[in-house]
Amino acid sequence: MGMGVEIRNRIAKRAAEEIKNGMIVNLGIGIPSLVPNHLPAGTNVMFHAENGITGMGPSPEKGKEDENLCNAGGFPVSIVKGASYCDSTIAFGMIRRGRVDMTILGSLEVSGKGDLANWIVPGKKVPGMGGAMELAQKARKVIVLMNQTDKYGNPKIVDECTLPLTSARCVNMIITEMAVFQISAHGLILTDLFAPHSINEVRAKTGCSFTIAENVRVIN
Amino acid sequence: MENTFNKIIELDDAMKHFRDGMIIMFGGFGGIGTPPSLIDGILDNGFKDLTLIGNDSGFPHIGIGKVVSRGRAKKMIASHIGSNPVAGQLMTDGKMEVEFSPQGILAERIRAGGVGIPAILSDIGLDNDIVTGNKQTCSVGGKKYLVETALTADISIVFAKKADPYGNLIFDKSARNTNPLVAMAGDMTIAEVEEIVPLGSLDPDEIITPGVFVNYIVPSKGVNWKWAWE
């Protein structure tokens, strides 16, 4: 994503607020991988990787990487006390059975109804769904971290996704560099605004209508 | 090492079981846990027109990606090929057919094949044409499910940390991934292992794959590719 480190961290920090003690959380690649850096000390959370790790820790120091201890993106990680390894069926069993409390991932488009399109660009990029469908469909809470607009300035939050869906009506929350939205049965609700952006600015860069929460929090 | 069950063989002998056009199932996730010496054996012996079944297509120079990148596969059944642009190109050019299956369901299809179950029922991707394809559906308890058929292979190749001469296997950390499932699903399973230890020296409580599923054991020459993070 074409955004500065500071903005990426601001999004990650806001997402970290959603993680509560005792949760099992699966993180996608990109900004989601920054989320653990923003957790308050002493938060007990088990990070889940679909390649079979429950209890992932931070990246090891250079030179201390273990080629057989990597996250689902193939990059070296460590483990925390209480961690476990399992095979792929069990890793996904945790997801489908509803044991994974939250997944935080990136997306290409999200509709105001919570439809997620993050796996295919017809004619351009057909990488396969990997574990995205299961995570989107079965994680208890789905949070999308992404830019408000694509590189051409088009809104990524839209009325109807133009790209093929990963999963319909699965996203619960969207955090962009401009605002935070919740997705409820009544549609999209703006809850937080990142300074210095204004609600009008967000409206101009959102492809569907949204309501505004009673007390919008402004994050500086 | 005493070869009590005649399962321990050299790479060259293992290669005598392969042929063109075979269905090969491989363990590994992004190359981690994919058997490097068996992959090189397949390449060096020129096997082609293969159908490859596994989690993903690796990276162009890592894991199964080495076989895919050289155009040796006519078909792949995988959940993801995004880390290997060559695989994407071969698919786009019509040189390799790719059947995508959601990752956890792919793993369950492999497990089903390995444990003698003909199919599983799944609600993953029910509203997605690419997943549903021409698959049968059925209704259980008033809910609709896809019938996801089991997968088996002519040969399964896996990578383990240790084996004893019976083929009991333990794996290394996240290199376990699909290996225990793949190990069960082959008509023949060849395990490449980092270490062969005497019979009785593996704690029976810690064995992940019982040796009944393993036909042959090949000592590994080790990973010889550079990882993406290196």
Which CATH number covers residue B200?
A: 3.40.1080.10
Interface contact flag, A89 B111, Cβ < 8 Å: yes
Mean pLDDT of B14-28: 98
B137-154 tens-digit pLDDT: 999 999 999 999 999 999
Show the CA angle centred on residue B34, arms to residues B32 and B37, nearest 5°.
125
pLDDT score at A122: 82
- The beta-strand segments (E) located in A13-91 are 24-27, 46-49, 53-57, 78-85
pLDDT score at B127: 85
pLDDT band at B1 (very low <50, low <70, confident <90, very high): confident
> Please, which residues have CB within 8 angstroms of residue A193's CB and are 6 or more apart in sequence?
A178, A179, A180, A199, A202, A216, A217, A218, A219
Instruction: Find out whether A175 and A197 touch, Cβ atoms under 8 Å.
Output: no
Is residue B18 in a domain? yes
pLDDT score at A2: 58
Mean pLDDT of A195-214: 97
Is residue B141 in a domain? no
Fold type of domain A5-219: Glutaconate Coenzyme A-transferase (3.40.1080)
Tell me the CB-side half-sphere exposure of residue A46, using CA atoms within 13 A.
19
How high is the mean pLDDT of chain B? Answer: 97
Mean pLDDT of B128-134: 92
A50 is catalytic: yes
CA of A85, closest CA in chain B: separation in Å?
A: 6
> Please, which residues have CB within 8 angstroms of residue A66's CB and are 6 or more apart in sequence?
A60, A76, B173
How high is the mean pLDDT of chain A? Answer: 94
pLDDT score at A126: 81
Query: How far apart are the C-alpha atoms of B31 and B10, rounded to whole Å?
Result: 22
Instruction: Find out whether A61 and A76 touch, Cβ atoms under 8 Å.
Output: no
Residues from chain A contacting residue B81 (CB–CB below 8 Å): 126-128
Residues from chain A contacting residue B58 (CB–CB below 8 Å): none
Q: Is the peptide bond before B165 cis (omega within 30 degrees of 0)?
A: no
Interface contact flag, B181 A86, Cβ < 8 Å: no
Q: Is A115 on the interface with B (CB under 8 A)?
A: no
Interface contact flag, B102 A131, Cβ < 8 Å: yes
Interface contact flag, A68 B175, Cβ < 8 Å: yes
DSSP for residue A143: E
Interface contact flag, B79 A129, Cβ < 8 Å: yes
What tokens were used for B149?
A: 């058929």
Q: For residue A3, is pLDDT > 80?
A: no
What tokens were used for B130?
A: 């690419």
Is residue B199 in a domain? yes
Q: Is A208 on the interface with B (CB under 8 A)?
A: no
| CB nearest B181 (choices: A72, A88, A93) | A88
> Please, which residues have CB within 8 angstroms of residue A190's CB and are 6 or more apart in sequence?
A179, A180, A181, A199, A202, A210, A211, A212, A213, A216
pLDDT band at A119 (very low <50, low <70, confident <90, very high): confident
Q: Is B207 on the interface with A (CB under 8 A)?
A: no
pLDDT band at B34 (very low <50, low <70, confident <90, very high): very high
Q: What are phi and psi of A9, to 5 degrees?
A: -70, -35
Mean pLDDT of B14-40: 98
Q: For residue B27, is pLDDT > 90?
A: yes
Q: Is A200 helix (H, G, I), strand (E, B) or coil?
A: helix
Q: Which residue is it, tokens 């409206």?
A: A203
Mean pLDDT of A39-59: 94
Q: Is A126 on the interface with B (CB under 8 A)?
A: yes
Q: Is A159 on the interface with B (CB under 8 A)?
A: no
Q: Is A2 on the interface with B (CB under 8 A)?
A: no
pLDDT score at A108: 94
Is residue B142 in a domain? no
Interface contact flag, B79 A66, Cβ < 8 Å: no
Q: Which residue is it, tokens 């792929």?
A: A88
Q: How many domains does chain B have?
A: 1
Q: The domain containing residue B203 runs over which residues? A: 11-118+151-219
What is the percent of chain B where pLDDT is above 70? 100
Q: For residue B165, is pLDDT > 60?
A: yes
pLDDT score at A1: 45
Specify the range with the lowest mean pLDDT, choosing from A120-124, B102-106, B112-116, B129-133: A120-124
Helix (H) / strand (E) containing A192: strand A187-194
Q: Is B153 helix (H, G, I), strand (E, B) or coil?
A: strand
